[in-house]
Amino acid sequence: MRVLVTGAAGYIGWAVVHELLASGDQVVALTHRTDTSFPATVEKRHADLLDRASLTAAMENVEGICHLAALTHARASVEHPTRYYRANVTGTLNLLDAMTESRQGPVSRIVLASTCQVYGAPELQPISEDADVRYINPYAASKVAAEQLLGWQAATGAVGATTLRIFNAAGAAAGHGDLDPSRIIPKAVAVALGSAPQVNVNGDGTAIRDFVDVKDVARAFVLALHASEPGGHAIYNVGAAPASVLDVIAAVERVTGRSVRVQHQPAHRAEAPTLTADTSRIRAALGWRAESSALDRIVHGQWSAVTQNVP
């Protein structure tokens, strides 16, 4: 299958590109960046999600889409809600329209990267896809709106759509780790490396989150894309390894053999004590398994990626 990947130069996008290649698919990478060195077999195209004409042109000879391009920081979305809706909702709307306007005929498959933040902080754990959406920031709300757009478009029979609600993607794929220091694993690894002074921990560090290796996330995209059928919209959780903040720090120290300095600060009142994924649906429907998501293995991937160019 010839697959267009939006956000191909991003952290998860990079992993999806390489997983598609490994599965025998042809990849068209849609990106704004000019400095990204994709494998030679990847075709690069440039388009803006807010520019319908460029998007329509980018659909040439494409059969499916993995849609990862988005703004993704919850705190920033509170300060810039219109920016997040414009990128995440209008961008998805334009993409869906461009799929139907392709000169070679409609593009019939799409997989959307969504987030566990659409659930808010439900009491019942692990969280199933049937849980109510209780988004508490514009980022999550924009993702819910994008999911709904996919659902309505699929209901017309124009596309087969899948939404992947990703919990905490981590680790590395094809030599690329997570560069976002706001997330616990890259931050703890940076402290172990000596490029950050400390990890700030809210409360006692016992809050549990669900981590999943980025390679396992990428495999979910490939499986979902190939399984999609026009008229259907499937929603799946993607998670694997529940761990507390203290568990993550201990794993980083264990894997790296270095200490990680921790600074405790007051807990956030709104922070849920536990957020874990029920993944029974994706395992049953797609045969997906978390093959690389043991916590130490995730940390090792991140550590190897960030130290490969360090003397």
Angle at 295 between CA 291 and CA 296, to 5 degrees: 105
Helix crossing, 295-307 with 245-256: angle to 10°?
Answer: 60
Confidence of residue 269 (pLDDT cuts 50, 70, 90): low
Q: Residue 213 is encoded by which pair of tokens?
A: 């290796």
CB 241 within 8 A of CB 295: yes
Measured between its terminal Cα atoms, the distance across the chain in Å is 41
Please tell me the CATH superfamily of domain 2-169+211-238, with its number.
NAD(P)-binding Rossmann-like Domain (3.40.50.720)
Q: Is 230 exposed, middle or buried (0-12, 13-18, 19+ CB in 10 A)?
A: middle
Q: Among 109-113, 121-125, 143-147, 218-222, which is the least confidently predicted range?
A: 121-125
* Active site annotation includes 139: yes
Cα(226)–Cα(60) distance, rounded to whole angstroms?
19
Which residue among the candidates 11, 119, 139, 236 is catalytic per the annotation? 139
> In sequence order, what are the residues at sequence separation of 6 or more whose Cβ sits closer than 8 angstroms to the Cβ of residue 24?
none
**Each residue of 155-205: pLDDT tens digit?**
999 999 999 999 999 999 999 999 999 999 999 999 999 999 999 998 999
Instruction: Kindly list the domain boundaries of the chain, sorted by start residue.
Output: 2-169+211-238, 172-209+241-275+282-307
Backbone conformation region of residue 148, classed left if phi is above 0, alpha if psi is from -120 to 50, else beta: alpha
What is the average pLDDT across 33-47?
A: 86
Confidence of residue 77 (pLDDT cuts 50, 70, 90): very high
pTM listed for this prediction: 0.96
Q: Is the dihedral of CA 81, 15, 7, 64 positive or negative?
A: negative
Task: Say whether pLDDT at 7 is over 90.
Answer: yes
Answer with the residue of higher pLDDT: 310 or 95: 95
- Name 65's bridge partners: 4, 110
Answer with the residue of higher pLDDT: 285 or 204: 285
Domain covering 172-209+241-275+282-307 in this structure, CATH number = 3.90.25.10
Report helix, strand or coil for 24: coil
Task: Say whether pLDDT at 35 is over 70.
Answer: no
